[in-house]
Amino acid sequence: MLELQNINKSFDDKQVLFDINAKFEPGVPNLIIGASGGGKSVLLKCMVGLMKPEKGNILYDGRDFVHLEYEQVKEIRREIGMLFQGTALFDSLTVAENVKFPLKMFSKMNDSEIKDRVNFCLERVQLGGAGEKYPAEISGGMKKRVGIARAIAMNIKYLFCDEPNSGLDPITSRVIDDLLLDITAEYGITTMIISHDMKTAFDIGDKILFLYEGKIRWQGSKNEIHSAGKEIKELGAFIASSQI
Amino acid sequence: MKFFFELGRYLLFLRSMFFKPERLSVFVERTLHEMNNIGVGSLPIVAIISIFVGAVTTVQTAYQLISPFIPVKIIGTIVSDSSLLELAPTITCLVLAGKVGANIASEVGNMRVTEQIDALEVMGINSSGYLGLPKIIAGLIMIPCLIIFANFLLISGGILAAQLTGIMPPNEFIQGARDTFTFFTLSVSMTKAFVFALIITSVSTYEGYYADGGALEVGEAGTRAVTRSCIFILFFDFIIAKLMLNA
């Protein structure tokens, strides 16, 4: 389980996150939604340690990520997988080498076991035949799937996804959503998805957190979001603008 | 203030690189790959420049020393000493700052703007060490080798030019070069090579690592890497000359 306690973050004089408190359970996708500039990506970067909040705690199964020593932070990071908005695949490596990378760096597997694990991960995201291709030779949707395969290669406990549907057509977007939903349930991992896509929220949002101007304005599930939108004007406006 | 901010950040960046590699075999593999890029990849340009600089230095020295009272073998002495002390390390490293430095800065800068460095960090990898240290070690091994190669070709270019233009026969050139050769001169050349190698690789990696934005900023990081490396090379050239050759 991942817990955020009183997270505050600012850049110079501008505060972008205000006392964020939330709990994210394993086994179901947790969505953080909100308009651009609302602090979603900053919150995600704080959660994975790419930024440090000024105040607050980030607890990974009770371990406070913010106040640990660098070596202990590295240990937690090996339990984390991340799908970046731009996929962040290593463009000098093939698809298979990208998936192999974390295994080669950290696992104690031998070459044959690594090869089997890479093939399994690529098959799991329906990319069995694309291992020898380079990232520049595959489509945006395939890159996202390679990113997911690389993220799950190491038996992770936490998966972070930054705008997994950005730049994808509706069909590919649905494929990625289903894949994230299945993987989260199958491996029992704690998945955090940052999105401004309401379709994703309606499809897989078992737990949704609405961030507005750096503050949590609402938390609930996809079944409650419409009724909440009628009561909370910012959420209602966000839902309406997403459906235009 | 900006100078001190940059200097402090550069020193902290250097410190952050020195770590125990996550996987030694990957580190060695990356270092060998960088040695190939920096060393083998630079051989043709270093060879061409060295031969021509050696040839031009010989012709110009001969032009300035036409006198019946000066033995012609002095030209060999001047060319070989100039090559060892200044031309081979400094000219070669200024060229390498352009070729290797721009390449490193754009490669690392591109990784920064496409979030590949963030991906390394999220995986629990020391990104500065993973990317920077193999390049620095490869530079410290290969650039001195290139300087030795450049020294050899500079003198060879000089001998060739002296022979082809009729300035003097090769044996006189070699005799002149041998007359004043000392290992101390070679050690000055190698000291410069190691210091310049550290400057080229570390400054270029630093500039790429802190590139921020998009393609335009990656280009700017490449330009900054080359100009700053060249300035530091010339500055430390003077410092080393003053410290080691202070008569």
- Hey, where are the domains in chain B? 23-244
Q: Which residues of B touch A160 (CB under 8 A)?
A: 122
Confidence of residue A235 (pLDDT cuts 50, 70, 90): confident
- The interface pTM score, or ipTM, of the predicted complex is 0.89
Residue of A nearest to B121 (CA): A50
pLDDT > 70: percent of chain B: 100
pLDDT at residue A244 greater than cutoff 70 = no
Q: Are A105 and B23 in contact (CB < 8 Å)? A: yes
pLDDT tens by residue, B98-148: 999 999 999 999 999 999 999 999 999 999 999 999 999 999 999 999 999
Q: Are B115 and A85 in contact (CB < 8 Å)? A: yes
B148 Cβ contact partners less than 8 Å away, ≥ 6 residues apart: none
Predicted pLDDT of residue B247: 60
Q: Which residues of A touch B125 (CB under 8 A)?
A: 105
B24 Cβ contact partners less than 8 Å away, ≥ 6 residues apart: none
pLDDT > 90: percent of chain B: 85
Q: Which residue has the higher pLDDT, A113 or A204?
A: A113
Predicted pLDDT of residue A243: 61
Confidence of residue A184 (pLDDT cuts 50, 70, 90): very high
A54 Cβ contact partners less than 8 Å away, ≥ 6 residues apart: A8, A9, A10
Residue B101's nearest CA partner among B215, B28, B206 is B206
- Residue A234: exposure state from Cβ atoms within 10 A (0-12, 13-18, ≥19): middle
Give the residue extent of every domain in chain A. 1-79+157-166+181-193+206-221, 88-155
Residues of chain B below pLDDT 50? none
d(CA B131, CA B120): 10
Q: Are A48 and B122 in contact (CB < 8 Å)? A: yes
Determine contact, residues A54/A8, Cβ cutoff 8 Å: yes
DSSP symbols for chain A: -EEEEEEEEEETTEEEEEEEEEEE-TTSEEEEE--TTSSHHHHHHHHHTSS--SEEEEEETTEESTTS-HHHHHHHHTTEEEE-TT----TTS-HHHHHHHHHHHH----HHHHHHHHHHHHHHTT-TT-TTS-GGGS-HHHHHHHHHHHHHTT--SEEEEESTTTT--HHHHHHHHHHHHHHHHHHT-EEEEEE--HHHHHHH-SEEEEEETTEEEEEE-TTTHHHHHHH-HHHHHHHHHHT-
Residue B117's nearest CA partner among B228, B205, B204 is B205
d(CA B134, CA B210): 18
- Count residue pairs from A and B with Cβ separation < 8 A: 51
Residue A194's nearest CA partner among A16, A24, A54 is A24
Q: Are A50 and B122 in contact (CB < 8 Å)? A: yes
State CA A178 to chain mean position distance: 14
B12 in reach of chain A (CB within 8 A): no
d(CA B42, CA A215): 54
Which B positions 95-154 lie with beta carbon below 8 A of chain A? 114-116, 118-119, 121-125
pLDDT at residue A138 greater than cutoff 60 = yes
Q: For A102, which of B115, B118, B123 is closest by C-beta distance?
A: B123
Residue of A nearest to B108 (CA): A90
Q: Which residues of B touch A84 (CB under 8 A)?
A: 115, 118-119
Is A1-79+157-166+181-193+206-221 in CATH node 3.40.50.300? yes
Indicate the pTM of the whole model. Answer: 0.89
Residue B101's nearest CA partner among B74, B135, B66, B129 is B135
